[in-house]
Structure 1
Amino acid sequence: MHRSTTDLSPTARRTRRLIVEAAIETLAGDTSAALAEIAKAADMSRSTLHRHFTDRGDLLAAVDEECRTRFARADEAARLGEGGALNSLDRLAQEYLGLGPVLGLVFADNALVDPDAWTEGEERVQALLGVITGGQDDGELDPELTPDWVLTTFWVLLFGAWLSLKTGTSRRDVGVQLSRTLRRAVGLGGR
């Protein structure tokens, strides 16, 4: 059973945070990783992990909650709608790219995290579609592409960027290539 962290001591909250972070890192590389592997990555015993998370489902719920928080922070930092559609989409792509291993949980074959399943997932999609249609109306984004196509392209490019990060390409280089490709794929300025 997933417990609220507000009732925990500062030490217990810190331990839970370390476990969740280790779980994100470990599961991003192998979604079937055992709790023992996660405990080892957190540099603690399995019994300590089990004191904080009774089972895998309990830990996965905490991982999902942390990923949800990180996506919300990225959404806020991207300032969608400010400075034009291409700049908004580019900022959001860069913020999401900065989520690192969280993307591994989203893009895994057996995805452990699904942003569309969160209650704010539909709001996120609608906000992005609003930015896209506004950009098309303003002549900044290609009006011959459907908004759904542009949104899908955004996620496919982000997936490619994540794959490049996994192969060791620097975050900076991946970010530059992601930005350039996104702008040329859906914008009118690069044509």
Structure 2
Amino acid sequence: MPQPRHTTEPSPTARRTRRLIVDAAIGTLAANPSATLAEIADAGDVSRSTLHRHFIDRGDLLAAIDEECRTRFARADAAARLGEEGVLNSLDRLAQEYLGLGPVLGLVFADNAPVDPDTWDDSEERDQNLVTVIERGQRGHEIDSELSPTWVITTFWVLLFGAWLSLKSGMSRRDVAVQLSRTLRKAMGPADPDAPRRLS
């Protein structure tokens, strides 16, 4: 009769090394999505054999990266307190929290993105929560009611993509944050009464 396998909890050193490799991989792949495992190991200042002790292959490492990115997005969502203290303010906070994810955005916005939030099992719930908040903002005249919630969400991500490109081009984090906030508020805030209305 086969004996059950006994697993041991990774040591603190092993957990730190694994986290170091994942962090290095996020930064390296954000800059160069085709980076090799050897380049990731170099960035993490570990040997290739050490990397393979923690991750069997590239797919195993990408799965760990995806999980770490999901965790960071969840923390950003919680920190933004979406829907509190004014809807437009909370959308601005969410954009700033996502901007603070730094290289994680590089993975999301890369060609053939290795990280896709739409594949996470909570993606529909997250999107629906955002729609609910936007609709509440429209009822309260904080968000332009002539914009569909889907359009607002798409605009949110387009602005975030532009912010990430500006960071990559060398613009300071502070300047990008200010530009992102001003543009988001102007794009989504209460409509100019003289603006064209949406066709029904």
Q: Verify same fold: TM over 0.5.
A: yes
Letter in 2 for 1:42: G
Contact 2:144 2:191 in 1 (8 A): no
Distance in structure 2 (CA, Å) of the matches to 1:119 and 1:148: 20
Aligned to 1:22: 24
Count of matched residue positions in the alignment of Structure 1 and Structure 2: 187
Q: CA deviation at 1:123?
A: 1.4
**Paired residue secondary structure (1:159):** helix
Runs (4+) off by over 3 Å: none
Aligned to 2:74: 72
Aligned to 1:180: 182
Map Cα deviations across residues 154-188 of structure 1 (whole Å, 9 max, x no partner): 00000000000001111111000000000000101
Q: CA deviation at 1:114?
A: 0.7
**Paired residue secondary structure (1:153):** helix
Q: CA deviation at 1:85?
A: 1.2
Aligned to 1:112: 114
Query: Which of 150, 153, 157 is the equivalent residue of 1:151?
Result: 153
Aligned to 2:55: 53
TM-score computed with the length of structure 2 as normaliser: 0.91
TM-score computed with the length of structure 1 as normaliser: 0.95
Q: CA deviation at 1:7?
A: 1.9
Distance in structure 2 (CA, Å) of the matches to 1:112 and 1:87: 31
**Paired residue secondary structure (2:85):** coil
Q: CA deviation at 1:29?
A: 0.8
User: Does structure 1 residue 93 correspond to structure 2 residue 95?
Assistant: yes
Q: CA deviation at 1:124?
A: 1.2
Aligned to 2:9: 7
**Paired residue secondary structure (1:112):** coil
Letter in 1 for 2:28: T
Contact 1:97 1:103 in 2 (8 A): yes
Aligned to 1:121: 123
Identity value in percent: 76
Larger radius of gyration: 2
Bigger drift between 112-121 and 92-101 goes to 112-121
Q: CA deviation at 1:38?
A: 0.1
Contact 1:183 1:190 in 2 (8 A): no
Question: Which segments of 5 or more consecutive residues in structure 1 lack a partner in the other structure?
Answer: 1-5
Distance in structure 2 (CA, Å) of the matches to 1:30 and 1:122: 29
Compared with structure 1, are the counterparts of its residues 139 and 111 closer, same or farther at alpha carbon in structure 2 (3 Å cutoff)?
same
Q: CA deviation at 1:74?
A: 0.1
Q: CA deviation at 1:190?
A: 7.9
User: Does structure 1 residue 171 correspond to structure 2 residue 173?
Assistant: yes
Letter in 2 for 1:165: L
Task: Point out the structure with the larger helix share.
Answer: 1
Map Cα deviations across residues 38-65 of structure 1 (whole Å, 9 max, x no partner): 0000001100000110100000000000
Contact 2:76 2:97 in 1 (8 A): yes
Query: Which of 135, 138, 144 is the equivalent residue of 2:137?
Result: 135
Aligned to 2:197: none
Letter in 2 for 1:180: R
Aligned to 1:39: 41
